[in-house]
Structures are given as C-alpha cells and as structure tokens.
Amino acid sequence: MQPFAYLRADRIEDAIAASGPDARFLAGGTNLVDLMKSEVERPLRIVDISRLPLDRITETREGGVRIGALVPNADCANHPLVRERHPLLSRALLSGASPQLRNMATTGGNLLQRTRCYYFMDAAFDACNKRRPGSGCAAREGRNRIHAILGASEQCIATHPSDMAVALAALEAVVEVHGPRGARRMPMEDFHRLPGATPQRDTTLEPAELVVAVEIPPGSFARASTYLKVRDRASYAFALVSVAAALDLRDGRVHEARIALGGVAHKPWRAREAEALLRGATPGEAAFDAAARASVAGARPYRDNAFKVTLAQRTVARALRVAAGIA
Amino acid sequence: MSPGAASPIGLPLDRVDGPHKVSGSATYAAEFQPKDTCRALIVQSRIAAGRIARIDTRAAETMPGVLRVLTHLNVERLPQQGRAAVKPPAGREMSLLQDDAVRYNGEPIAVVVADTLEHAQEAASHIEVAYERGPAALDFEAARGGAYPPRKTVRGPPDTTWGEGASALDSAPVRIAATYTTPYEHHNPMEPHATVARWEGDRLTLWDSTQYVSGVRDTVAKTLGIPTGNVRVISPFVGGGFGCKGSTWSHVMLAAMAAKAVGRPVKLALERPQMFGPVGGRPRTEQRIELGASRDGRLIAVCHDVISHTSSFEDFVEVATSPTRALYAYPNGSVTQRLVKLNLGTPTFMRAPGESTGTFAIECAMDELAERLSIDPLELRLRNHAEREPDTGRPWSSKRLRECYRQASRRFGWERRDAKPRSMHEGPWQVGWGMATATYPAHRQPAQASASLARDGTAVVRCGTQEIGTGTYTVMTQVAADALAIPVDLVRFELGDTRWPRAPISAGSMTVASVAPAVRAACTRLRDALAKQDRRWLDAADDAGRRSAWRALAASQPTATEAHGESHPDASEDEQPFAARSFGAVFAEVRVDPELGIVRVPRVVGAYSVGRVLNAKTAANQLQGGIVWGIGMALMEESLLDPSSGRYVNGNLAEYHVPVNADVGEIDAWMVDEDDTRFNPLGARGIGEIGITGVAAAIANAVWHATGRRIRDLPITLDKLL
Ligand SMILES: Cc1cc2nc3c(=O)[nH]c(=O)nc-3n(C[C@H](O)[C@H](O)[C@H](O)COP(=O)(O)OP(=O)(O)OC[C@H]3O[C@@H](n4cnc5c(N)ncnc54)[C@H](O)[C@@H]3O)c2cc1C
Ligand code: SF4
C-alpha cells in the first residue's frame, strides 16, 4: 500500500478544500480500502468524510425524501420514509452485499463504488483502460460473463455494480454535489456515464466534488414497484442482471412506467423505449413482454455473456408482472 | 472401561477447544509473535511461462523499513537446487528462487522482508521485472491432444481393467455414453496459509498452518540440508485445510530462508488472492463414461476415461476413476487416467480428491442409464449393489450401504417421486428429486502417542497429529478418557508439535482410524501401569469416586508415570484381505425457476456407512460441511482462468462463490449403526470427506428431473439452464 496522508474533515468546505486529483474521500471504506490494499487505488491523500453531518434522512418541502450522503445503507433501507414511499429502494439496498457491509456502506460510497470487472480489480493486468487510460481492455477477449451488453465501447465493457443506483435511477432521484465552484444538482441519469473513450471516468463528478445528498421526488410508484436481482448465489453476490420496475397504475392502465436495469451497462440503464411502450397500455403479459424486448434493444454481448440478453429480457418481464401484482 | 463407568465414546461431546476458539485464545500460526518478528511478502510472476530477464530491486531495497529483498540473484543456494525433498505427490516441487525460470502466472519470484507488512507491500510494488516470455500452455481443450498416462496414481497404475474390460460393452443390449466436466477450484479454507520462522543458531522453529507437522519438518530439513532433529514444527490450530495444507509449499521454505537471511524471526502469511495458484487446487477434469447393461438393469461393463490437468513441472493425478472402481457389481470394466500439462501451479488433493469429481460423473451416468432403462435410479443401484470390491474381488471390511439407501430414501420420501421429468411443481418452481451414492476409501497409517499422569491429576496425552477443525482434540480426549476410565475433563490432549510422538498427515479421512488406536494403546498401557500401583479408581462405583481415587493416585506418585503406544495396520492397503471403504446415500431436492434458470436446494438428506462414530456431534458436523461444499461444487464454485495470461481472475471471496447460508436449505445427515473392527480396533473408518461426494451428482440429477435438461458441466450456473 502506498503511503498516504490522512485528514479528517469536520466541515464540508474543509473536505472539498482538502481534496483534489490525488485525494480520495473516505466514507465507509468498504470499497476504497479494498482497492487500496490491492493497489488499484493509490491516493496520496485520504480525506475522511465519515464525521460530516450528512447522515440524516429528511422529508423535503415538496414531499420528496432527502438522503444524506453518509447515511449507512442499512439505515436507509430500514427508514420508515424509505420503506413506505420507496420500497423499491429499500429492496434494492437489502439485496446488496451483507448486513455487515451495509452497516458501513454509505449513500455516496455506494453510488461511487468502482466496477467489479476482474481485470480492473487486479493490478497485475496491464490492459485496463479504466485503471490505466490507453492501456487496452483485457476483458474484451478475456472472461466477460459479468460484463456489459448495453452501451459499452471499444475501450471498456465494464458494468456498474450498485443496486442502489439502479433503484435511484428508476425513481429519478437527483444528486446534489458540492465542489470548489459551489453546489449543483443533477438527475441520476446524468450522474453515471457510459465509458466511451474515457472509461477512467465512472461519473460526471469533477475532482474535489463531494456528493452531499440524493433526493427522491414524490411519486406514485410505491404500490406497484419491485426490485428483482438475479445472481449466482442466493445472497451476497453482485447482480448478473437486476431490474427496478415501477408502475403508476390508474383506471386499469399504465399511467407511467419506470424501468432501470443493473448489471448490463456502465451505468444504471433506463429502458426509456420500453417505458414509452407501456404508457397507456393495459398491464398484462403482452404489454410486459413487448416492453421486455424493447429493454434489450441494441444489446451487444461478448464471448461469455450472451445469456444476459435473454436473462435481462425475462427479468424485466418478470419484474413488471411482480410490480403489477400479476405474477 | 470399568464396570459402571459409561464410555464417553460416541457421545456428542462439545468441542473441548470450543471456548478457546470463540474467545480468540486459540492461537493460529500467524498469531505467534516471537520477539523481533518482521514480515515477509511473496512477489509473484505476472507471466505464465518464460524467464526473468531482469529484476531490479534497487529502489525497493532502499525504501523505508525494508530489510532484504530475496531474488534468484541473491538467495542462498540450496542442495540439489532446492529439490532434495521432491517426491510427488507428497513432496512437492517448490519455487525457491533457485533459478530464473517462470512456470506459471503467480509463481513466487521474490520475497520482500520488512519491519511491517505495509512497508513490504509498498516495496514490492517498486520491484521492476522484465520477462522473456516463453510459449504457455493454458488451453485445456487444445492440450487434450497431448494427454499422456502418468507413471502412477495413488490408486496404482493409471489404467486398470477387469473381466473382459471395455470389449464387454459390445455385447451389452443397452449402452449410454456421456462426457462430464468439472472446473478448476481452489480450497480457500477460512485461514489462509501462514508460517512464522525463527532460527536459534542452527535450529529452526516453524509455526505453520499445516495438516502435517512431521511432513513439514522432514521436507524443510531435507530441502535445507540440515538434520531433521534441528527443525521443530508447531501447529496447535488450523483454520481449515481440506488438502491444501497437506503439502509443504514454497512459502514455508521461503519463510525459513528469509528468517535466516535477515537474522530475525519472519512471518509470512499468504493473502487471499495468493491462495489461487501457488498452494494447489482441484484440477479440472474431463470424464467420459460408458455404461453397458442388460435390459433389466444389470450392469455388464463400465468404462471411465479421465483427463485432468497438472502443472508443467509435476504430475498430480485427480483419480476420478477411483469411485467407479468401487461402486457397482460390474463384471467388466476399464478405467484410464490421463494428464495434460498446463502452465499453472500444480494442483493437489482437495476434499475427497478423485471421489468428489469422480462421483459426479459416474453417479450422473447411472441416472442417465436409469432414465434409458425406465428403472428407478435407486432400484438400479440396488440391483447392482457390489457385495465385493468390483475390480479386485475382495470382500469389504464392513459395508452398510443398503441400510443407508433404505433409511435415507424413507426419510426423504423417495417413493413419492414421479419418475417423469418436469412432473413436479411448487408454485412457479419446477421441483426435481435426485439421488446418488456417496463413497470414500478408508485409509489408515501407523501412529504413535504418549500418555502420562501429572501430579495434579491431569492425564496428559500427546500425539503429533493436527486439529484442522474436524474435532481431533475432542475425539481423542474421549478415546483417552475411555481407555483410562476417567471423566473426560481429566484428560488434556496435546497435538500439533513435532516434539510429540509421530502421527500421519491429517488427510484422507484417516486421522481417527490411525491416531485413535495409538492413543488408546498408550492410555491402556498407562492404565495398566497405574492399576498395578493402586487400582481403586477402576473399582470405584461412580464418577465422583473415580475422580477422587484418581486424584489421590496422581498425588501419591513420586514421578509422573508415562506410557507409549503405537498402532499400525496389519498390511498395506493393497495387501489387506479386505477392501475398506465408506459409503452413503444422498438425496437432493431442487427447485428451478424455469424462466430465469435459478436453482435452489431446499433439502438434502444423506445416510452414511462410516464405521463406528466416536463423537456424534463432530461427525455430523463433518457430513453437513461436506454437503454444503457439495452444493457449492454443484452450483457455483469455479476458478476462472484468464485464457491469455494464465491468471485466475476471481481470486477473492467476493467473486469466487461458495455457498452462503441462504444457499443452504435443510440438511439431514446421519450415520447408520456400524462397527468396523476388521479395519481397526476402534471400528471407525473416518468421516471427513465422504460428505461432499455424490452431492453434485444428486443435485445435477435433480435438476434433470425438474427440467428435463442434463447439465454435464459443473457448476450448474443459471446461464446453462436458460
Ligand atoms: C464482498 C462485497 C459484496 C458487495 N456486494 C454488493 C452488492 O451486491 N450490491 C451493491 O450494490 N454493492 C455491493 N457491494 C459494494 C458496497 O455496496 C460498496 O462497497 C459500498 O456501498 C461503498 O460505500 P462506502 O461508504 O464504504 O464507500 P467507500 O469505500 O468509502 O468509498 C467508495 C468510493 O466513493 C467515494 N466516495 C464516498 N463517499 C463520497 C461522497 N460523499 N462524495 C464523493 N465521493 C465519495 C470514495 O472516495 C471512493 O472512491 C459489495 C461490497 C463487497 C466488499
Ligand atoms: S472492461 Fe473496462 S474495467 Fe474491465 S478491463 Fe476493460 S477497460 Fe478495464
């Protein structure tokens, strides 16, 4: 492990001022510290943000839910506001990692956790554009059963591993960040990015920018939503494919639909075309199957992950049925 | 045992070392901290084949805390280039920096010694290595063409035939043939390997996490070229071994060499990713099985041809044909073992080596034959029950497999199974029931023990065996208390030290069968010697009386009375007039999500014929643990090899999947009544490995029953069922 300086910030401004390209914020540490031990991350400065006053869940004036960046995943999943209004998020969180990890993991850290691409996580591999820009992508010709089928690039086919982010994408949450140039807010959609030619960047966050909260706008999805995660063992495994499905059902029709997929792309994958197909449709197998097909339109699998196209499609159809209560 | 005293043998005694383990006072190898201990870290190769053209350690050597960097350029030269103790499959080819060759990705190429682990790690990342790459064989499929017969296997020559051999298949009215494959796997006990080495003059002490203290001592002494008596190995607790700690691997020697080089005690603990390569693993196998039978389901012949991988520099054979040779009454048979060389670390024994992989193939093939014949799979096995060992014709020392089938099938409810695949459902799930026979050979080796009575009344019983989590401390305490006719709490059993009388490796499920008779012999001698002095404790009416008489006897001793005992089998395994093997019957229920391919195992039921049970609790625990592993083997376990670099890419416990609690449903496993005194005086055959055998087949067969799909390639991940 490379020697580093350790600073603990008591105020948001101090954390931002202490940060920079060679620094990393330390929240729960469950991802960062692992990556430092394996020398994938080699920061010169650690800015410990775990004491910042960002550990509250509150209701916004508009009736939304605001989740502080340092709220532990376990607390978030079990908070009454989250359980009642956004059970989808609660389910997504509880499907992730293990109780011990969820006690440590935070909102901000969860969104900013790095990919589980094998070649990214093992510094012994030279070719990883995400870890060493311009070095190539070992996964393309390597073991890529867990990799992306949508939105990947020549340079990188990694997926984003977070379950929470998938739920937040479906709920159209807004991320609030503070940085050297002040505060800004962006929809989840614009927070993570596709790899393109610069896979070293997972998100649109600028150096020294700190996530302070996510806000979920009020919605009418609580009654007809679910998070369905498919993985290689019953618990404590990352998603091969996951689906956050939420329906606003009115008068026997789909008023609005949200579908986001995890495990298939470099970011939570909003299936907007599928959502459009569902709008106004009668909930049922026919409509859901059509939406499922549309969800994987344009999918491009690699050597080991062709199964994900079928799996993603079936998982979407199943999630929609479960959400609509007709499974 | 004296009249009135209830024998503690067989009782479900709690682990005597349990309180130490849960309170953290049990000391594992890496927790020993002799004064001035520093840390060593192994640097591994990043290519699969070739040589080190240049290795630059100058920057690393000047970094904070660094004491020494050992490479092939500066390390001590060992006798015979470090190969003095090489004797496969027990004495392994190690990587001891004696030359510049690189034979697999992850091979040790340097050792950094520093005051702290962090300093060693940082220095290691500043070592620059330039390689000259050579051609690397990494593709099992491509290497198959060059498969060759090994010189020998642990079960004799690589090829065996009996009766008419394969040609008998030609006359069989019904034949099935299929090929089964199992992946690379790695043991991953909870405690990774660790060694602490301390030199005092020319004497070396090693605290090591090992299944074989005497083996480590002998190998290290021979490799270093020093007298065996100069090496002491200590290993009071081992956090699981499963075979990977049965051999002395490179890190043990490298720790000793590093300690010598810096003149300080050195601690070398492997990191989790280092468990994937330099310390063995289960070889990949490809197994072709052909069965011939009469229309009424009598087996006529079996052929089982196995190809498994080994390293480029040492032959290790996964004898997957072993269970096939033992399971059924086929009058004719032919089995072959072949190897392919790959540029990977040498594989090794892994829980039920040969039997776990082999039972997957033969027990799936039996299910396929049952399907073809429209005979119930259990009935097919009963019709072909082997009353003698098929390939040698020897009788069994004892075998209660029929009783296992009977008890387990009844408890499982097998008679309610609808034979047709896809016929059973539970809500949206497809339900499948499958079964298989479990089996593991019984081994026994010579062992010695000592017993003495201390003045405080403690019977101190010692044996250089190991506690690898199986319950040796507890079971041997029971055996000693039984022979001495005293309550168990008056016994202190000590193990894991080469100063104690020699015992065999804790492997092959033979610890109880080998060590218990020696412990009993030593304790019986001690009892007899003491009885001559004062036999009141033997005649006491109750425990309290025994206890006080025993204490009085102890206090009256001028010096401690000590006795030695030893025990060995009457003949080698091949020369015994009987064949000794354990068997079992395992039944599994699976639920399959027909749309998403998800497989769950809500219940596994198994009954086992394993000889006499010395502790019902630790025994059941071994069976349950084996079954859990069998679930993992069936559904998830696989080391993923990167095809171009030869590195395993999922070398950590987040991405290398073993079952978590949620993957394990109800497990109902027990031992049928048996007493195999023909095999050894205690009547026990050993229990550590049989639990995993047959489970993967039972699950695969259940998956077929649920879905109509035969998955012949492990693990059965959901993508294979979509
Ligand atoms: C074995 C294992 C299994 C797991 N399984 C799952 C799973 O199934 N599903 C799942 O979703 N996750 C899973 N995880 C990942 C886990 O959810 C993340 O490790 C965790 O959420 C990270 O949160 P943290 O607070 O510990 O982040 P840290 O490790 O502290 O930080 C992670 C990154 O985020 C940055 N960061 C943290 N907070 C902020 C902030 N406020 N602003 C800007 N940057 C910030 C850090 O600088 C760092 O780069 C698993 C992890 C492990 C180890
Ligand atoms: S997929 Fe992305 S993260 Fe993985 S090796 Fe390629 S560039 Fe690196």
Respond yes or no on whether ipTM tops 0.95. Answer: yes
Last residue of a domain, one of B508, B539, B568: B568
Say which DSSP state B156 is in.
B
B550: nearest Cα among B464, B618, B621, B486: B486
B318 lies in the same domain as B271 = no
Cβ-Cβ contacts under 8 Å, B647 against chain A: 122, 124-125
CA nearest to B288, candidates B338, B356, B351: B338
Does the residue B144 lie in any domain? no
Distance between first and last Cα of chain A: 50
Residue A93 reports pLDDT greater than 60: yes
Task: Flag whether A3 is in a domain.
Answer: no
Residues B483 and B548 in one domain: yes
Q: Is A46 exposed, middle or buried (0-12, 13-18, 19+ CB in 10 A)?
A: buried
Number of separate domains in chain B: 3
pLDDT tens digits along B608-650: 999 999 999 999 999 999 999 999 999 999 999 999 999 999 9
Residue A100 sits at the chain B interface (C-beta within 8 Å): no
Judge whether B221 and B228 are in contact, CB under 8 Å.
Answer: yes
Residue B253 lies in a domain: yes
**CB–CB of B601/B431 below 8 Å?**
no
Q: Which of A122, A234, A240 sits opposite B663 (nearest CB)?
A: A234
Q: Contact B437/B399 with Cβ under 8 angstroms?
A: no
Residue A105 tokens read as 């993991």
Split into its structural domains, chain A has a count of: 1
Q: Are residues B99 and B214 in the same domain?
A: yes
Give the count of beta carbons closer than 10 Å to the beta carbon of residue B193. 26
Q: Do B423 and B307 share a domain, yes or no?
A: yes
For residue A125, pLDDT beyond 60: yes
Q: What is the mean pLDDT of chain A?
A: 97
A60 contacts A20 by C-beta, under 8 angstroms = no
pLDDT attached to residue A1: 79
Report residues whose beta carbon is within 6 angstroms of any ligand 1 atom.
Answer: A 24-32, 49, 69, 73, 96-97, 101, 104-106, 108-110, 112-113, 161-164, 210-211, 238; B 654
B198 and B310 housed in the same domain:
no
- Give CA–CA dist B710/B703, Å, rounded: 7
Give the DSSP letter of residue A6. Answer: E
A206 interfaces chain B, CB cutoff of 8 Å: no
- What tokens were used for B267? 């601690």
CB atoms under 10 Å from CB of B229, counted, come to 10
B536: contact with A, CB 8 A cutoff? no
Judgement on whether residues B437 and B582 belong to the same structural domain of the protein: yes
Check CB contact of A1 with chain B, cutoff 8 Å: yes
Mean pLDDT value across residues B173-197: 98
| Average pLDDT of span B119-146 | 97
Q: Would you say residue B2 has pLDDT above 60?
A: no
- Determine how many CB atoms are found less than 10 A away from the CB of residue B21: 14
Give the sheet arrangement for strand B66-70, strand by strand: B66-70, B108-114, B38-44, B266-269, B194-200, B203-208, B231-234
Q: Is residue B311 part of a domain?
A: yes
Hey, is B182 helix, strand or coil? strand
CA dihedral sign, ordered B678, B682, B683, B684: negative
C-alpha–C-alpha distance, residues B645 and B133, integer Å: 11
Phi, psi of B404 (to 5 degrees): -60, -50
Q: Which of B291, B289, B293, B290 is nearest to B173 (CA)?
A: B293
Residue B560, pLDDT score: 85
Quick one: B426 and B474 in the same domain? no
Helix orientation angle between B616-635 and B695-707, rounded to the nearest 10 degrees? 50
Mean pLDDT of B241-255: 97
Mean pLDDT, chain B, whole residue set: 96
Largest pairwise CA distance in chain B: 78
| Cβ–Cβ gap A1/B118 under 8 Å | yes
Residue whose entry in the numeric block shows the structure tokens 């201990």: B37
Name the residue type at position A50: S
The answer to whether position A242 is within a domain reads yes
Asked, for residue A247, whether it belongs to a domain, the answer is yes
CATH number of the domain residue B345 falls in: 3.30.365.10
Residue B689 is a catalytic residue: yes
What is the rounded average pLDDT of the residues B107-134?
Answer: 97
Quote the tokens at residue A204: 């649109």
Output phi, psi for A178, to 5 deg: -115, 140
Strand partners for B70: B111
Distance CA B519, CA B493 (A): 10
CB-facing half-sphere around the CA of A325: CA atoms within 13 A: 9
The reported pLDDT for the residue numbered A65 is 98
Q: Judging by DSSP bridges, how do beta strands B447-453 and B561-567 pair with one another?
A: antiparallel
**Residue found under tokens 């040698």:** B392
Q: How far apart are the CA of A118 and the centre of ligand 2, in A?
A: 8
Instruction: For residues A66 and A69, give the distance between their C-alpha atoms in angstroms, rounded to a whole number.
Output: 9
Cα B461 to the center of its chain, rounded Å: 26
Tens-digit pLDDT profile for residues B340-384 = 999 999 999 999 999 999 999 999 999 999 999 999 999 999 999
Distance CA A125, CA B241 (A): 29
Band (pLDDT 50/70/90 cuts) for residue B4 is: low
Give the model confidence (pLDDT) of A73-89 as tens digits.
999 999 999 999 999 99
Q: Are strands A253-262 and A269-270 parallel, antiparallel or unpaired?
A: antiparallel
Q: Which domain holds residue A242?
A: 225-324
Query: What's the pLDDT at A88?
Result: 97
Residue A120 Cα, ligand 2 centroid: separation in angstroms? Answer: 6
pLDDT for residue B90: 81
Which residues are paired to B67 by β-bridges?
A: none
Q: Which chain A residue shows the shortest CA-CA distance from B655?
A: A237
Asked which of B568, B587, B613 is the last residue of a domain, the reply is B568
Mean pLDDT of A171-200: 98
Hey, what are B102's tokens?
A: 């690189």
Among the three residues B224, B259, B275, which one is the final residue of a domain in this structure?
A: B275
Same domain for B458 and B420? no
B1: pLDDT strictly greater than 60: no
> Within a domain: residue B173?
no
Cross-chain residue pair B662–A234, CB shorter than 8 Å: yes
Backbone angles phi, psi at B99, to 5 degrees: -150, -175
Question: Is some CB atom of chain B closer than 8 A to the CB atom of A227?
Answer: no
What is the pairing mode between strands B459-462 and B666-671? Answer: unpaired
Q: Are B211 and B238 in contact (CB under 8 A)?
A: yes
**Could you tell me if residue A249 is inside a domain?**
yes
Pocket around ligand 2: residues whose beta carbon is below 6 Å from it?
A: A 115, 117, 119-120, 128-130, 137-139, 156-158, 199
Of A1, A121, A230, the CB nearest to B121: A1
Query: For residue A269, what is the domain's CATH number?
Result: 3.30.390.50
| Residues B50 and B194 grouped into a single domain | yes
Domain that holds residue B581: 160-166+281-443+576-721
- The pLDDT of residue B145 is 93
CA distance B663 to chain A (A): 5
Ligand 2 mean position, distance from CA B280 (Å)? 28
* Mean local confidence (pLDDT), A87-103: 98
What value does the mean pLDDT take over residues B431-460? Answer: 97
A319 inside domain? yes
Q: Give domain status of residue B485, yes or no.
A: yes
Residue A110 CB neighbour total at 10 angstroms: 28
Residue B282 tokens read as 């289960």
pLDDT (tens digit per residue) in A265-320: 999 999 999 999 999 999 999 999 999 999 999 999 999 999 999 999 999 999 99
Q: Does some domain include residue A195?
A: no
Q: Is the pLDDT of residue B3 over 80?
A: no
Angle at the Cα of B391 from the Cα atoms of B389 and B392, rounded to 5 degrees: 70
| pLDDT the model gives residue B5 | 65
Our mutation pick for probing the ligand 2 site, out of A115, A126, A150, A159, counting the most ligand atoms within 8 A of Cβ, is A115
Is B176 a member of any domain?
no
* Mean predicted confidence (pLDDT) in B586-595: 98
Q: A41, A114, A130: which to mutate for ligand 2, most atoms within 8 A of CB?
A: A130
Q: Which residues contact B137 (CB under 8 A, 6 or more apart)?
A: B49, B143, B312, B340, B341, B342, B343
Over residues A1-35, the pLDDT tens digits come to: 789 999 999 999 999 999 999 999 999 999 999 99
∠ CA(B668), CA(B674), CA(B677), 5° rounding?
145
Q: What is the pLDDT of residue B574?
A: 86
- Residue A264 included in any domain: yes
**Reported confidence tier of residue B6, pLDDT bands at 50, 70, 90:** confident
Residues with Cβ within 8 Å of B623's Cβ and at least 6 positions away in sequence, in order, are B606, B608, B669, B670, B671, B687, B690, B691
Pair B602, B662 in one domain: yes
A105 contacts: CB under 8 Å, gap ≥ 6: A27, A28, A30, A31, A72, A73, A96, A97
Answer yes or no: is A22 within a domain.
no
Is B619 contained in some domain?
Answer: yes
In a domain, B178, yes or no: no
State pTM to two decimals. 0.98
Q: What is the mean pLDDT of residues A121-137?
A: 97
